[in-house]
Chains A and B, each alone.
Chain A
């Protein structure tokens, strides 16, 4: 091999012979677990929220542009498709929010033990559902009055 990046994946075994270092297998090989799934979902929701910031930008720019632009933006956002996207956006936001707290706790060295990790993973999932439903109930009440 002549590629430096490739050469970095070469090590020596105990007999001093050059060997290719093992690479971890692809995702589909593993059984879905709390640890891997919540981690993947954290990244996925992060990317989804990144796409969601385009909606935030559009909303703010439309509001700053003028009455007509804002009316169009409000009509798009309050359409069925708009509300569906917004629902996904809030669910992603609350998941990333809750699991982000979990990550910050891990950074502080807390909650790493497997039983604890499974427990706080479940808490994140329940909290995401509760916060998302709460948001839409609150939004519905404000819409009614």
Chain B
């Protein structure tokens, strides 16, 4: 039998369905998509608040910044911003890594590294805001 390069031969004794099974779940996939949209909507007002707060804090001393963060609305809004921002970032970078890193081991390693760093930064930001506030 002729075997030219344009007609690939598959040496796997499995059906198309069998090959697709186990490669991804159709049950919880929508959660990532939905969470990305929810955090995006939350970030619309929060990022505007953040930008305005940065202008307001411009040239302030550490004491003035602590006073600003100590006001309950600012503490809460900054904590909301940190939560939504880093969650949105983790979801977004996950997709980028999954798109461009093809080797399984490298992909898993980069996902763990990036998500770990994001969790670390989020915690550092939240603790700093709380330390300034209290």
Contact = CB atoms under 8 A, between A and B. Distances in A.
A17 B8 CA distance: 9
A104 B124 CA distance: 30
Interface string A89-130: 010010001001101100100000000000000000000000
Interface in B8-27: 8-12, 19-20, 23
A103 to B, nearest CB: 8
Nearest to B54: A139
B28 interface: no
A60 B8 contact: no
A50 B55 contact: no
Nearest to B41: A104
Nearest to B58: A142
A101 B41 CA distance: 8
A63 B121 contact: no
A19 interface: yes
Nearest to A70: B62
By CB atoms of chain B within 10 A, which of A8, A46, A50, A101 has the most? A50
Contacts of B62: 63, 66-67, 70
A1 B124 CA distance: 48
A138 B51 CA distance: 11
Contact of A63 (B12, B65, B92): B65
Interface residues of A, number: 39
Contacts, number: 98
A8 B58 CA distance: 55
Given A8-B19, A50-B93, A64 B127 contact: yes
Nearest to A69: B62
Interface in B77-113: 85-86, 89, 92-93, 96
A135 B48 CA distance: 11
23 contacts: A1-B8, A4-B19, A7-B19, A10-B8, A10-B10, A18-B7, A19-B8, A46-B89, A46-B96, A47-B93, A54-B121, A57-B125, A57-B128, A60-B124, A63-B62, A70-B62, A93-B47, A97-B44, A100-B43, A100-B44, A101-B44, A142-B59, A143-B58
Given A60-B125, A67-B62, A104-B40, 14 more contacts: A7-B19, A18-B9, A19-B6, A46-B89, A47-B93, A50-B93, A57-B125, A60-B132, A61-B125, A64-B131, A97-B44, A101-B44, A104-B41, A142-B56
- In the complex, the 6 A-B pairs of residues with the closest C-beta atoms, listed nearest first: A64-B128, A60-B128, A64-B131, A57-B121, A70-B62, A61-B128
